[in-house]
Structure 1
Amino acid sequence: MSINTPHKNKTSSHIPLIKTQQQTIIALILISTLVLLAYSSFYNGFDWFISTLLVVIAGTVFYGYTKTREQLTVLLQLHSLLNDLSRGQLHHRIINMKGMGELGKVAWELNEFIDEVECYFKEVDACFRAVSVGDYRRIALDVGLPGQFKSSLQKINKSIEVMRKNNELLAKNELASALHHTNSNNLIANLKNSQDGLASISEQMSYVETIALRNGENAENSSQTVSEITQTLNNINSSIQSVASVVTALGEDSKKVTESLSVIAGIADETNLLALNASIEAARAGEHGRGFAVVADEVKKLSQHTKKAAIGVESTLKSFNDRVLQMTEQANSASQLTASIKDKVDNFQQGFAELSQSSHETANYVSYSKDKSFGLLAKVDHIVFKQNAYIAIDKDHTAAEYQAVQTPHTACRLGKWYFEGIGLEQFSHTQAYSALNTPHERVHKDVQQALVYAGQDWMNEPTIRQQLLDSIDSFEVASGEVMARVDEMIDEKHQDFLRQL
């Protein structure tokens, strides 16, 4: 049998209803009275006393029938009311009970009982209808209800309180789960972005290290080249000193040759003079024969003196020739050393050119890495700001995290970097710098709006809870734009350098 199907008692179904029984009894009494009146009149003639008595009896019966009918009406109302109650209809009541005596008292007490039952179920329905839409503030009012009704409503209120706490716990868990999911996804993306930035910086530092090692090798080679050039210059200096000594000796030999040539010239002059004298003496040969002997002796002496001078000149010329050969060799050696120095100087110049180029590349890598580091620091500051926002959602207004995110976008660390610090100095000429301000401002506004929702009854109001989550999603989207603009700003500043990679 279904619990919704009214149970009908068949025990008295074959017994006539009270109304039928009453009508049957009254009909029998009236018929009996008429029979007695007819009988008396037939056998004893018309008797006023008996007739009056029978009329009184009939009137009394009719009066009793009328009163019984009123009471029967109350019973019928009771029957109808109980049928309505069995169908769950609690708004019906028994009326017109005046003068019904005990039956009226029963009907009145039943009405009061139904009032209590209806009030009980209305309270239960009202509080559970509120609970069904997430409102746990509407508790059941037990004032005026007696006994188990009052006790049952109090237990229901305790159950609603437990449900409220469970709902708050579920709401907290739901919000915490949503916040954790949002925070984790975005934090992982932010950390991945920071990891990529660190990897890029590490890669740039590797390039710098490679260039530094190459510069070290070039510097070592240049040092060796300088040593070789120094040694070569020392050798050239020695050669030059040797050439100077040879030149000095040549000067001395030149003086000797000059002296010898002067002697020879003198001898030639004397020889000419002797020849002249010989000619003169020859003219006088006949008379003065002795003069020839003197001239011949003088010529002999001049001849010996000339031979000696010639030997001296020959020796001097030989020495002069040797020194010229020596000087030629020294000059050739110096020429070779000079050519060697030229090659080394060319190599040295090329090494310095490569060193200059490497230094320029190193400066570019270091500058790019420095800006990447500053950008990474700015993004880390922004990540810390967002984490303070997530923590502040579960804190009161006095918490340090709550106060930390109440600053305007111009006063946070990223804002100061942007409006006052390195960002303004080194990146204000880029387009990405100008585009960074709007999403950064939106992050602050959405975070502060989320905290406004967090201060409201989001645990019992799903709409407020959804608005809180929407604000968080909104500032995460804006935060992603901030991260992208910072990277674009740095790449835009170093676009010429990046094109060369």
Structure 2
Amino acid sequence: MFVSKKKIQDLKTKYEAELSELKSENSDLQSTISDLKSQLQVPASTIDDTRNKILEVLLNSYDGGTEFLQNNIQENLLMLDDINELNAKNGEQMINVESQTQTIAQTIETIQEYSNQLGDDSNSLNDSVISIAEIINLIKDISDQTNLLALNAAIEAARAGEHGRGFAVVADEVRKLAERTQKATQEIEININSLKQNSSSMLDISNTFIDETGKVMLILDTFNSNIENVMENSSSIRAQTGSLTNEINVSNGKLNHIKLKVQAYKELFNDVPANIIDEQSCEFGKWFSMAAGSFLKSNTQAVSSVTRHHRNVHIGLTDTLKLFKDGKESEALVRLKDVEISSDIGFKELISAVRSSSN
């Protein structure tokens, strides 16, 4: 369920290797620019004025442009993809935990309902026991009065002598009945006292159970709140990581354009053939097509503008090389400046659109 140390170490190793490769590539670009700077310092008699101006365009465009790309790009995109995947899995796990927590909460609520019912039943039982005890007290009073009547009847029968013998028999039976009633009452009283004690104990246990269940509910509420925070944080991490991935893709595209334009400049100055591919075939073009169809889909104005500027960079470089070969160097310089403007505006608009899409 969790990210292993080995997985993290593998990502770190891959990232460091690709970063080293990127730094090497960036160093090559800076070396090329340094060479061109050296050429710019050669006396004007050896380089025509148009080429000098083209070189100035290059230097103005790239003198500080490669430094911010130094610590970026390719493999940390893969690393961020892995992080996104791990975060997505983490989100799924949190959803499962949340679902399980809800089930636990429902179970606890049910237990609490039963606890409340138990408490009600205990109270009712306790009330019933109290009522029974009152009835027993009443029976006891009646028994005492019956005993008293039997005693009085026996006294009166003794006074009546022979004539009160039948009355004495009745009095004796009343006395025996009173004794039985008293004995039964005593037994009932003993049982009722035991029942009262048990009922009181049950009521105490029920109250304790209700209190403990309430504490569990409070703890579970806190746990639920923590889970919600984890879910929100996980969602925020995924959003931020996705946004960062998109921004790095933009930087990667900028680096691709730098490399593409350096190829063109190399052909202009060193007669090294340049392979200027079309805007749909370059790595940035492929990524931008995906972006235009997904998270940038609603920003049609930005998509249209970036598409236009991106196309102008590729076509403009091809046009520049052709114009230069045809000896139209002034027109080539104008076209090259237009390419640099499109590259600058296009990527500024793109990074703005990417950041807006993540808000």
TM-score normalised over the length of structure 1 = 0.43
Instruction: Write the deviation string for residues 389-420 of structure 1: whole angstroms up to 9, x where unpaired.
Output: 223335669x4xx2x21x444444444444x4
Could you tell me how far 1:386 is from its partner in structure 2?
Answer: 1.5
Contact kept in structure 2, 1:409 and 1:444, CA below 8 Å:
yes
In the alignment, what sits opposite 1:445? 315
> What is the one-letter code of the residue matched to 1:474?
D
Distance in 1 (CA, whole Å) between partners of 2:347 and 2:65 is 8
Contact kept in structure 1, 2:291 and 2:297, CA below 8 Å:
no
In the alignment, what sits opposite 2:5? none
In the alignment, what sits opposite 1:480? 344
The answer to whether 1:434 aligns with 2:282 is: no
Contact kept in structure 2, 1:428 and 1:434, CA below 8 Å:
no
Could you tell me how far 1:345 is from its partner in structure 2?
Answer: 3.7
Which of 361, 364, 367 is matched with 2:236 structurally? 361
Instruction: Write the deviation string for residues 34-78 of structure 1: whole angstroms up to 9, x where unpaired.
Output: xxxxxxxxxxxxxxxxxxxxxxxxxxxxxxxxxxxxxxxxxxxxx
Q: Please state whether the residue corresponding to 2:47 is helix, strand or coil.
A: helix
Q: What does residue range 177-216 of structure 1 map to in structure 2 within 5 Å?
A: 181-192=56-67, 194=69
Could you tell me how far 1:322 is from its partner in structure 2?
Answer: 1.6
> What is the one-letter code of the residue matched to 2:290?
G
Q: What does residue range 125-140 of structure 1 map to in structure 2 within 5 Å?
A: none
Instruction: Write the deviation string for residues 62-112 of structure 1: whole angstroms up to 9, x where unpaired.
Output: xxxxxxxxxxxxxxxxxxxxxxxxxxxxxxxxxxxxxxxxxxxxxxxxxxx
Instruction: From the CA coordinates, give the structure whose radius of gyration is larger.
Output: 1
Contact kept in structure 1, 2:252 and 2:284, CA below 8 Å:
no
The answer to whether 1:344 aligns with 2:184 is: no
In the alignment, what sits opposite 1:44? none
> What is the one-letter code of the residue matched to 2:196?
N
Contact kept in structure 2, 1:417 and 1:424, CA below 8 Å:
no
The answer to whether 1:421 aligns with 2:285 is: no
Q: What does residue range 236-247 of structure 1 map to in structure 2 within 5 Å?
A: none
- Higher fraction of helix: 2
Could you tell me how far 1:172 is from its partner in structure 2?
Answer: 8.1
Q: Please state whether the residue corresponding to 1:319 is helix, strand or coil.
A: helix
- Taking only aligned residues, the RMSD between alpha carbons, in angstroms, comes to 5.1
In the alignment, what sits opposite 2:18? none
Distance in 2 (CA, whole Å) between partners of 1:393 and 1:169 is 18
In the alignment, what sits opposite 1:171? 47
**Taking structure 1 as reference, are residues 427 and 376 closer, same or farther at Cα in structure 2, changes over 3 Å only?**
same
Q: What does residue range 365-444 of structure 1 map to in structure 2 within 5 Å?
A: 365-394=240-269, 399=273, 402=274, 404-405=275-276, 407-418=277-288, 420-430=289-299, 431-444=301-314
**Taking structure 1 as reference, are residues 323 and 330 closer, same or farther at Cα in structure 2, changes over 3 Å only?**
same
Which of 310, 313, 319 is matched with 2:188 structurally? 313
Distance in 2 (CA, whole Å) between partners of 1:188 and 1:396 is 22
In the alignment, what sits opposite 2:36? none
Distance in 2 (CA, whole Å) between partners of 1:348 and 1:179 is 65
TM-score normalised over the length of structure 2 = 0.57
Q: Please state whether the residue corresponding to 2:298 is helix, strand or coil.
A: coil
Give the number of aligned pairs: 276
Q: Please state whether the residue corresponding to 1:429 is helix, strand or coil.
A: coil
Contact kept in structure 2, 1:197 and 1:372, CA below 8 Å:
no
Contact kept in structure 1, 2:320 and 2:335, CA below 8 Å:
yes
Distance in 1 (CA, whole Å) between partners of 2:71 and 2:303 is 21
Contact kept in structure 1, 2:50 and 2:329, CA below 8 Å:
no
Higher relative CO (CA 8 A, sep ≥ 6), structure 1 or 2? Answer: 2
Distance in 1 (CA, whole Å) between partners of 2:297 and 2:175 is 109
Q: Please state whether the residue corresponding to 1:376 is helix, strand or coil.
A: helix
Distance in 1 (CA, whole Å) between partners of 2:71 and 2:334 is 29
Structure 2 gap ranges (5+): 1-41
Distance in 1 (CA, whole Å) between partners of 2:197 and 2:164 is 50
Instruction: Write the deviation string for residues 460-497 of structure 1: whole angstroms up to 9, x where unpaired.
Output: xxxx5555444433322222122212212213323xx2
Structure 1 gap ranges (5+): 1-165, 458-463
Q: Please state whether the residue corresponding to 2:66 is helix, strand or coil.
A: helix
Q: Please state whether the residue corresponding to 2:242 is helix, strand or coil.
A: helix
The answer to whether 1:490 aligns with 2:354 is: yes
Instruction: Write the deviation string for residues 117-156 of structure 1: whole angstroms up to 9, x where unpaired.
Output: xxxxxxxxxxxxxxxxxxxxxxxxxxxxxxxxxxxxxxxx
Identity rate of aligned residues, in percent? 24
Distance in 1 (CA, whole Å) between partners of 2:56 and 2:341 is 14
